[in-house]
Chain A
């Protein structure tokens, strides 16, 4: 087994007295693309937010050889862990270019930032066309691409993607997933949280199924796609 880039052990998230994530353990290896699927309210987003240290959680989180469950969330991008938050979280009143440059906020290698910006504009030409436009005026799909582009500006090793298909038209969802596939093809490790189980499993190599705060099934994507229970519950068949 290859080295796990990120690993959670007995991860727990509580909101007041309610347990949203009930002690789950999972790992994503370097270069792997893994998804976390499940119904609304299963605890997927809470899990991702806990990994990114945006909300308090119990349990251990290992990132490479380091333990990060005590690291403040704002420090993680410096270590190469980037979160694309739920609902995209773009800076609506800033321009596209300003949004992208905020992704490189923690970096001071000006020359390399410019190189990375060019790469992102090549990969997402739509963003280049709209560089000077206020981000709030972009379509939902464009905003999602901007959020991904902004995360990439931080030169991450691990990308945590929270529901990139949320609120998008089916055609746009495919485009966004194409971008995610391209990013992964370049060797990026991706952990994807997604309600659209079919799309996510077709894209990823492995998957975890979450149900009311616990991981109920963990398998390769191909097996999950063939699994009777998963098909019935999440693929609508």
Chain B
């Protein structure tokens, strides 16, 4: 396989270097403003991971999934159950994350199986139902055997630990103070890189081509020799696997999981990130996720001071205005850029191919 770095122009290499540099020093810059911002960034990266996972299902294979957060929940609960006092089990994270990924992947296949003949609206309804079923299960699996601890959720979940370094407290390396969130940030960054590489490989693989063919025309894809059933199941399963990994990390970072974190709104949020960024395009999806994760936080910190400065008092509750602006931004994007902010570049690719 060709080295992807060699195909980049000098300007693109410089850009990549700049982005890498920024990402490396980012948590320390944010920490000077407040550790809260490092946490917000970590959650943004989690949402990027989720969006990239959902992008496989929605963007590549064209299967509308409204219950994607269920797989995030499965990953989070697997981590919570295997690394907390709830069962008294304390496995290391590098054992649990793969288990969580596998269980979520299996859940993906189980969801996929009954939906194989459904498309569009019908598929969306069934997946939405599945997402709710998982959440309701977690809410109620405290009786007769206390499996999930019900709505109270699972507390005191273990932090990651690598050797002697625990992700709970602060450590000093090279004279720099690495707080818990900063350590998670770097870990998330590594996972994110891996997920991006896997996504790109998948997209250009035989399986990726089969997904796209199914998205474009299922009958023709089948006629071309693609086992549409297995390939669709694989899309559900692969997407779910990424969700499971993100869920495990979410549980550790948060130290606590409860069914409340996995409501329908979250599924819709992740879908909005994928659609807003540009379905199918990895970079667009990342941009969408980053934008939609940070925007509410930025608004949270600006809406109130701006109102005070303008009117001398607070007229509208920031929480209300936040959702209003958020919704308005989504409507505007869909009106003026229906394919997303950064859609899959068909025409650009077409031109570059003509040049060669």
Known contacts: A72-B227, A102-B209, A134-B346. The answer to whether A85 contacts B219 by CB under 8 A is yes
Most A Cβ at <10 Å: residue of B220, B221, B226, B354: B220
Tell me, yes or no, whether B228 is within 8 Å of chain A by CB: yes
What's the nearest-Cβ distance from chain B to residue A81, in Å?
9
Contact A103 B224 (CB under 8 A): yes
Residues of chain B lying within 8 A (CB to CB) of residue A147: 220
What's the nearest-Cβ distance from chain A to residue B219, in Å?
5
B188-233 with Cβ < 8 A to chain A: 206, 209-210, 212-213, 216-217, 219-228
State the 8 A-B residue pairs at the shortest beta-carbon distance, nearest first.
A106-B225, A89-B220, A91-B216, A132-B353, A77-B225, A83-B223, A89-B217, A105-B224
Tell me, yes or no, whether B347 is within 8 Å of chain A by CB: yes
Contact A102 B219 (CB under 8 A): no
Q: Chain A at the B interface: mostly helix, strand, loop or mixed?
A: mixed
Q: How far is the CA of A91 from the CA of B219 in the complex (A)?
A: 11
Chain B residues with a Cβ closer than 8 Å to the other chain, count: 24
Contact B353 A74 (CB under 8 A): no
Tell me, yes or no, whether B121 is within 8 Å of chain A by CB: no
What's the nearest-Cβ distance from chain B to residue A36, in Å?
18
Residues of chain A lying within 8 A (CB to CB) of residue B210: 105
Known contacts: A54-B219, A85-B219, A154-B224. The answer to whether A94 contacts B353 by CB under 8 A is no
Tell me, yes or no, whether A78 is within 8 Å of chain B by CB: yes
Tell me, yes or no, whether B317 is within 8 Å of chain A by CB: no
Contact A90 B217 (CB under 8 A): yes
Contact A150 B346 (CB under 8 A): no
Q: How far is the CA of A75 from the CA of B222 in the complex (A)?
A: 9
Known contacts: A95-B350, A134-B347. The answer to whether A77 contacts B223 by CB under 8 A is yes
Known contacts: A93-B216, A105-B209, A105-B210. The answer to whether A73 contacts B223 by CB under 8 A is yes
Closest chain B residue to A97, Cβ basis: B353
Residues of chain A lying within 8 A (CB to CB) of residue B219: 49, 54, 83, 85, 89
Known contacts: A94-B216, A95-B353, A102-B213. The answer to whether A89 contacts B346 by CB under 8 A is no
Residues of chain A lying within 8 A (CB to CB) of residue B206: 105
Contact A73 B222 (CB under 8 A): yes
Q: Which residues of A contact B (CB under 8 A)?
A: 49, 52, 54, 72-78, 82-85, 89-95, 98, 102-103, 105-106, 132-134, 147, 150-151, 154
Closest chain B residue to A95, Cβ basis: B350
Closest chain A residue to B226, Cβ basis: A74
Contact A52 B216 (CB under 8 A): no
Q: Which residues of B contact A (CB under 8 A)?
A: 206, 209-210, 212-213, 216-217, 219-228, 344, 346-347, 349-350, 353-354
5 contacts between A and B (CB under 8 A): A72-B227, A85-B219, A89-B219, A90-B217, A132-B350
What's the nearest-Cβ distance from chain A to residue B351, in Å?
8
Q: How far is the CA of A152 from the CA of B8 in the complex (A)?
A: 36
Q: Quick one: which of A105, A106, A133 contacts B350, CB cutoff 8 A?
A: A133
Contact B225 A78 (CB under 8 A): yes
What's the nearest-Cβ distance from chain A to residue B220, in Å?
4
Contact B227 A74 (CB under 8 A): yes
What's the nearest-Cβ distance from chain B to residue A147, in Å?
8
What's the nearest-Cβ distance from chain A to residue B347, in Å?
7
Q: How far is the CA of A91 from the CA of B223 in the complex (A)?
A: 12
Q: How far is the CA of A207 from the CA of B353 in the complex (A)?
A: 44
Q: How far is the CA of A98 from the CA of B353 in the complex (A)?
A: 12
Contact A105 B220 (CB under 8 A): no
Residues of chain B lying within 8 A (CB to CB) of residue A90: 216-217, 220
18 further interface pairs, Cβ-Cβ under 8 Å (given A54-B222, A74-B225, A92-B216): A74-B228, A75-B225, A77-B223, A78-B225, A84-B223, A91-B212, A91-B220, A93-B346, A94-B213, A95-B349, A95-B350, A95-B353, A105-B225, A106-B225, A133-B350, A134-B347, A134-B350, A151-B223
What's the nearest-Cβ distance from chain A to residue B126, in Å?
20
Q: How far is the CA of A91 from the CA of B213 in the complex (A)?
A: 6
Most A Cβ at <10 Å: residue of B224, B349, B353: B224
Q: How far is the CA of A91 from the CA of B226 in the complex (A)?
A: 14
Residues of chain A lying within 8 A (CB to CB) of residue B347: 134
Most A Cβ at <10 Å: residue of B209, B216, B225: B225
What's the nearest-Cβ distance from chain B to residue A181, in Å?
22
Most B Cβ at <10 Å: residue of A89, A94, A95, A154: A89
Residues of chain B lying within 8 A (CB to CB) of residue A154: 224-225
Q: How far is the CA of A95 from the CA of B351 in the complex (A)?
A: 11
What's the nearest-Cβ distance from chain A to residue B213, in Å?
5
Residues of chain B lying within 8 A (CB to CB) of residue A98: 209
What's the nearest-Cβ distance from chain B to residue A131, in Å?
8
Residues of chain B lying within 8 A (CB to CB) of residue A95: 349-350, 353
Contact B222 A91 (CB under 8 A): no
What's the nearest-Cβ distance from chain B to residue A233, in Å?
29
Contact A132 B354 (CB under 8 A): yes
Closest chain B residue to A89, Cβ basis: B220
Most A Cβ at <10 Å: residue of B217, B223, B353, B354: B223
Contact B223 A85 (CB under 8 A): yes
What's the nearest-Cβ distance from chain B to residue A150, in Å?
7
Q: How far is the CA of A133 from the CA of B349 in the complex (A)?
A: 9
Q: Quick one: which of A89, A92, A94, A132 contacts B223, CB cutoff 8 A?
A: A89
Contact B223 A52 (CB under 8 A): yes
Residues of chain B lying within 8 A (CB to CB) of residue A134: 346-347, 350
